[in-house]
C-alpha cells in the first residue's frame, strides 16, 4: 500500500486522539488483553475437549456449543480493540514483519474455520461417535497452534525495531 | 526490599538474552488466558447468563485443574519477568495495585467463589459473586498493562 495512504489513515481524527491519550490508549490495550483473559482460554478449552484432554466428563457438544457465544463475544472485544490499536499507530506498525505474520495467521485461521466448519457445526455427531475422529483432532491441534502463534507474533510486534538509516558522521554533529 | 535494592539485574538472562523476556510474556498471557477463562466459565454459570447445561459445582470441578495449571504458569513467568528489574516494579504504582488485586482475587477465588460454585448459588447471590470475580480479574489485567504507562 502507498505510504501516503497509510500515513493519512493514521492521521485521521479518531486514531490520533487514541494515540495521544495517556488514558484511553492503555485502556484499549488492557481491554485487548482482558478479552484474551476472559474468553481466549475458552478456545483452548474447546480444542482440549475435542482432543479428549479437558472436561471429558461433559459431552463434546455441550462444551463446544456452550462456549461458542462467549468465544464470539471475546473475539469481538479483542478484535475491536486490536483494530483500534493498529489503526492508531498504523504507519509505525505497517513495516513490522511480526504484524504481517500475525495478519497472515488470521488469514490461516479464517481458512481453518472454512475447512473445518463441519466439525464444529455438527458437533452432536461427536457425542455419539465411539472415538473422536481424526479430522476433529486435526482441527483442534491446528487451532491450538494457530492461536498460540497469533499470541506469540502479537507480543513480538513490540520488540521489532526498524533498522536505522546510516547517518554519515559529518551530519551527526 | 533490601535484598532487591542490592540485586543487579544486568546479568539476568532475561536482560541478556533477546528471546527470554518476550517468551516469558507469552507464557504469562497464555497462563492467565487459561486461568481466567476457566474461572470466567464458572462466573458465567453463577451469573445465570450461560453454560446452563452444567451445574456451577460441576463446572468448578471440571475446570479446577486447568485453572490451577494456568495460575502455575502465571506464577512462574510473573516472578521471572519481575526479576528483570525488581526495583522498577517495586516502585511502580500500577504493579503494586496489580499485586494487591491479584492477592484479593486469589483468596476470593478459593473462598467465596468456590463456596458459591460448590453450593450452586444462583439469583442475586450467584450474580454478585460471579460479577465480582470478573471485575477482580479484569482489574489485575489492567494493573499489569498500566505498569508500562504510569
**For residue B34, which residues of chain A lie inside 8 Å, CB to CB?**
41, 44-45
| Residue entry with cell 546479568 | B11
**For residue A158, which residues of chain B lie inside 8 Å, CB to CB?**
22
Instruction: At A48, list the grid cell.
Output: 482440549
Question: Whole-angstrom Cα distance, residue B28 to residue B77?
Answer: 6
Question: Whole-angstrom Cα distance, residue B87 to residue A168?
Answer: 39
DSSP per-residue codes, A46-79: HHHHHTTSS-TTS-HHHHHHHHHHHHHHHHHHHH
Of A26, A151, A156, the CB nearest to B29: A151
Q: For A84-104, write each residue's pLDDT tens digit.
A: 999 999 999 999 999 999 999
ipTM of the complex: 0.92
Q: For B11-59, write each residue's pLDDT tens digit.
A: 888 888 888 999 999 999 999 999 999 999 999 999 999 999 999 999 9
Work out the minimum CA distance from A113 to partner chain B, whole angstroms.
Answer: 21
Q: For A34-66, write each residue's pLDDT tens digit.
A: 999 999 999 999 999 999 999 999 999 999 999
Q: Classify residue B8 by its DSSP letter.
A: -
- Which residues lie below 8 Å from residue B110, measured CB to CB, with a gap of 6+? none
Question: Rounded to two decimals, what is the model's pTM?
Answer: 0.93
**For residue A30, which residues of chain B lie inside 8 Å, CB to CB?**
141-142, 145-146
Helix B20-47 and helix A60-88, axial crossing angle in degrees, nearest 10: 130
Any chain A CB within 8 A of the CB of B36? yes
- Give me the residues of A, 96-135, that contact B with CB < 8 A: none
pLDDT at A165: 67
Exposure on the CB side of residue A36, measured as CA atoms within 13 A: 24
Exposure on the CB side of residue A170, measured as CA atoms within 13 A: 0
CA distances (Å), origin A150, targets A69, A84, A114? 21, 17, 18
Residue A173 reports pLDDT greater than 80: no
Amino acid at each position: 500500500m502507498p505510504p501516503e495512504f497509510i500515513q493519512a489513515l493514521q492521521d485521521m481524527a479518531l486514531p490520533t486522539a487514541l494515540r495521544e491519550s495517556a488514558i484511553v490508549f492503555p485502556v484499549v490495550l488492557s481491554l485487548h488483553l482482558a478479552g484474551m483473559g476472559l474468553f481466549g482460554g475458552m478456545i483452548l478449552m474447546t480444542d482440549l475437549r475435542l482432543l479428549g484432554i479437558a472436561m471429558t466428563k461433559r459431552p463434546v457438544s455441550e462444551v463446544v456449543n456452550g462456549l461458542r457465544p462467549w468465544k464470539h463475544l471475546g473475539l469481538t472485544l479483542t478484535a475491536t480493540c486490536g483494530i483500534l490499536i493498529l489503526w492508531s499507530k498504523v504507519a509505525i506498525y505497517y513495516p513490522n514483519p511480526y504484524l504481517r505474520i500475525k495478519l497472515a495467521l488470521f488469514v490461516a485461521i479464517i481458512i481453518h474455520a472454512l475447512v473445518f466448519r463441519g466439525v464444529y457445526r455438527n458437533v452432536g455427531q461427536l457425542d455419539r461417535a465411539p472415538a473422536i475422529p481424526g479430522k476433529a483432532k486435526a482441527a483442534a491441534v491446528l487451532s491450538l497452534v494457530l492461536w498460540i502463534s497469533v499470541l506469540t507474533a502479537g507480543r513480538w510486534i513490540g520488540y521489532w525495531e526498524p533498522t536505522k538509516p546510516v547517518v554519515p558522521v559529518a551530519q551527526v554533529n | 526490599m533490601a535484598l532487591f535494592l542490592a540485586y543487579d539485574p544486568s546479568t539476568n538472562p532475561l536482560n541478556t538474552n533477546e528471546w527470554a523476556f518476550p517468551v516469558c510474556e507469552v507464557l504469562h498471557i497464555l497462563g492467565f488466558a487459561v486461568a481466567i477463562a476457566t474461572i470466567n466459565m464458572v462466573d458465567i454459570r453463577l451469573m445465570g447468563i450461560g453454560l446452563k447445561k452444567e451445574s456451577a459445582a460441576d463446572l468448578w470441578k471440571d475446570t479446577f485443574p486447568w485453572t490451577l495449571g494456568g495460575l502455575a504458569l502465571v506464577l512462574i513467568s510473573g516472578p521471572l519477568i519481575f526479576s528483570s528489574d525488581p526495583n522498577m516494579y517495586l516502585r511502580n504504582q500500577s504493579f503494586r495495585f496489580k499485586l494487591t488485586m491479584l492477592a484479593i482475587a486469589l483468596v476470593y477465588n478459593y473462598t467465596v467463589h468456590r463456596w458459591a460454585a460448590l453450593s450452586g448459588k444462583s439469583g442475586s447471590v450467584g450474580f454478585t459473586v460471579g460479577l465480582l470475580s470478573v471485575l477482580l480479574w479484569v482489574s489485575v489485567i489492567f494493573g499489569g498493562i498500566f505498569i508500562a504507562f504510569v
